[in-house]
Each structure stands twice: as C-alpha cells, then as structure tokens.
Amino acid sequence: MNKILIIGAQGMLGQELLKIFPQAVGWDREEIDITDEKQVKQKISDLKPAVVINAAAYNAVDACGQDAEFELAKKINGYALGYLADVCLALNATLVHYSTNYVFAGDKKDGYQESEPPNPVNKYGQSKLLGEREILRRSNLKYYLIRTSKLFGAKGKSTMAKENFFAQMLRLSTKQIELRVVDDELSNFTYAPDLVQATNILWQESHASGIYHLVNANPRTWYEGARALFDILGKKVKLIPVAANEFPRPAKRPKYGTLLNTKFPKLRDYEEALEEYLKDRN
Ligand SMILES: NC(=O)c1ccc[n+]([C@@H]2O[C@H](COP(=O)([O-])OP(=O)(O)OC[C@H]3O[C@@H](n4cnc5c(N)ncnc54)[C@H](OP(=O)(O)O)[C@@H]3O)[C@@H](O)[C@H]2O)c1
C-alpha cells in the first residue's frame, strides 16, 4: 500500500489532511524539524513514503519583516523544500506542497494564472517563493505545488496555531460594537476541508505534476467576507469598510491576490463552505 507522510500534521491544514488520509503517518515539529537537512533525509528515508505532503510552514506575515524572523521563515518555507524534494527524488516519492497568493505582486485586477511570474511584495512572500523555486529547479521531481489563499477551518492544535479570519471576526464582535475591516484587498477565501479534498483528487487521479491554484470560488475582500459571515448568522454587527492604508500593518499585502484556477475543476463558492464551517463549529 502507498504510504503517505503528512508534515505539519498539527496545523490547520495538516489536521484536515489527517482526517482525509487516516492511514497516513502524521508528523509535526516534535517528530521532525524540516529545517534539519540530516534529520529530514534520515527519517523520511527510513519511513519510505510514496507521498510526502508538506503542510508545515512559517506563517507570521507581519513578524517576517524582522531580520531574525525572516531568516527563520527562509529556512522553514524555503530551504527545507530543497531537503524534502531531494529525499522525494531519492525515494521516487511525490511531494505535495502548499504555497500562497502572496508570491504575486497584486497589481493584476483580474487575478493570476498558474504560469504567471511571481514577484512578492513582502518577506513572507519571498520566503514562500524560495520554497517554490527549490521544488521547481529539481527537474525529475514528481510534485504538486498548490497555491492557496485566506485559509479557514478549525484551529490547528500546535502551540503557534493562528485563528482564522472568520473566527477572529466572531471573537471581536463579542467585544466591540463596530468593526473596521479592510475593503481594498481582493482574494479567495479557502476552506481547509475543501482544499484537502481537492488535494486528494489531484493525487488519486494522477493529475500532471505542476503548479495548481486551489481556492474556493468567488474572490472577496476581507470586509465582504465579514459581511457574509454576519449575514449568514443573522447577527447585527456594524462593519466599517476601510482602506488597507488606514489599517497599518508592518507587512504590505498584495491588493489584488485572486488566484485563477485554470487546470483543475473549480472548488465551490466560499459562502457555501462558510455555512458548513459555521455549522460544524457548533
Ligand atoms: N493560513 C493561511 O491563510 C494560508 C494562506 C495561504 C497559504 N497557506 C499555506 O498553507 C499551508 C498550511 O498552512 P496552515 O495555516 O495550516 O499552517 P499552520 O496552522 O501555521 O501550521 C503549520 C504547522 O507547521 C509546523 N511547523 C513549523 N515549523 C516547522 C518545522 N521547522 N518543522 C516541522 N514542523 C514545523 C507548525 O508547528 P508549530 O506550531 O509548533 O510551529 C504547525 O503545526 C502552509 O504552507 C501555508 O503557507 C496558508
């Protein structure tokens, strides 16, 4: 039987991957440090998986602006992909890896196709692009490089796990009478269970090796997403749309970060997925 290894198994996406691949081996930071080349090669060679799914990442977009954090991000999101790719090549295993719309500059209103040249506007995007390049420069590697954006789902179990945007809005709405939400950054919300289902199909149906853009359909701004959230719940919350520059954050974000999926069947509308997330949350 094909052995599957999931790395980052305690993160938001990793825990969903383990649900869809219950027979898989799940490792997180306690079992493997992907920045340790020797450990990566030794542990994965011993396990001999047919597929390595890497959901481990450094995701602190704003903190990444600090030099020491950027160095760490480059190790986790960048160079580690070279180690994983090398061991996959040696084992003839497939590498599945997730990247982000933040590798793009954000100046294309209509969005980005899979083949578009990346040009990140922040350090986090640079660190993720480094990882993409580690994969792409190994010519015989079997890989799925999946770009996604604005992930939401159950919070990861790991210590550093981030709250998703909708959970954050719900928490803030219990404390504040009005919420100011950025309305000039456009991209796709993506439900983690939908992304893992699409990942499963990619692999099971042996789609061609390459870059895929897998996101829920219908891009929205953060403000529009928050509006949809409270409308679905029938909760009255005063939302104030604001420009990104009224909401100072250390890292710049792409203005238009829509990912165009031209190679795989479209995923469902994000609102349908959001309804399911809210139902499952209770
Ligand atoms: N979240 C989003 O909105 C979003 C958007 C676009 C793309 N993505 C991409 O989607 C993927 C999954 O993201 P996510 O939100 O599920 O991430 P997450 O919840 O932050 O989980 C990442 C996991 O990786 C582990 N990890 C970090 N450094 C490690 C290392 N050196 N060795 C082994 N494990 C390590 C973390 O453990 P610790 O907690 O112990 O550090 C954590 O369990 C990532 O590639 C991410 O870049 C996410």
pLDDT value of position 160: 75
- Residue to mutate (ligand 1; options 13, 79, 129; most atoms within 8 A of CB): 13
Q: Atom of ligand 1 at shortest distance to CA of 98?
A: 45
pLDDT value of position 162: 85
Q: What is the mean pLDDT of residues 199-213?
A: 96
Q: Residue 60 C-alpha to ligand 1 middle, in angstroms?
A: 9
Q: Residue 82 C-alpha to ligand 1 middle, in angstroms?
A: 17
pLDDT value of position 1: 62
Q: With a 6 A CB cut-off, is 98 part of the ligand 1 pocket?
A: yes
Q: What is the mean pLDDT of residues 8-17?
A: 96
pTM of model > 0.95: yes
- Give the list of residues 6+ apart from residue 79 with CB closer than 8 angstroms, or none: 35, 130, 134
Q: Is the pLDDT reported for residue 282 higher than 80?
A: no
Distance CA(246)–CA(180), nearest Å, equals 10
Contact 259, 147 (CB under 8 A): yes
Summarize pLDDT for 196-205 with one digit per residue, the tens: 999 999 999 9
- Residue to mutate (ligand 1; options 29, 40, 187; most atoms within 8 A of CB): 29
pLDDT value of position 248: 83
Q: With a 6 A CB cut-off, is 199 part of the ligand 1 pocket?
A: no
Please name the residue whose Cα sits nearest to atom 17 of ligand 1. Answer: 11
Q: Atom of ligand 1 at shortest distance to CA of 9?
A: 43
Q: Map out the domains of the chain with their CATH numbers.
A: 4-151+190-216+260-267 (3.40.50.720)
| Alpha-carbon distance values, 75 to 12, 63, 208, 228, 241 (Å) | 20, 15, 28, 37, 37
Q: Residue 280 C-alpha to ligand 1 middle, in angstroms?
A: 22
Q: With a 6 A CB cut-off, is 157 part of the ligand 1 pocket?
A: no
Q: Is the pLDDT reported for residue 279 higher than 80?
A: yes
How would residue 158 be classed by pLDDT, with cut points 50, 70 and 90?
confident
pLDDT value of position 159: 76
Share of the chain above pLDDT 90, in %: 94
Q: Atom of ligand 1 at shortest distance to CA of 13?
A: 16
pLDDT value of position 229: 98
Angle, CA 100 vertex, CA 120 and CA 193 arms, to 5°: 170
pLDDT value of position 175: 94
Q: Which two tokens stand for residue 158?
A: 């790991």
212 catalytic? Reply is: no
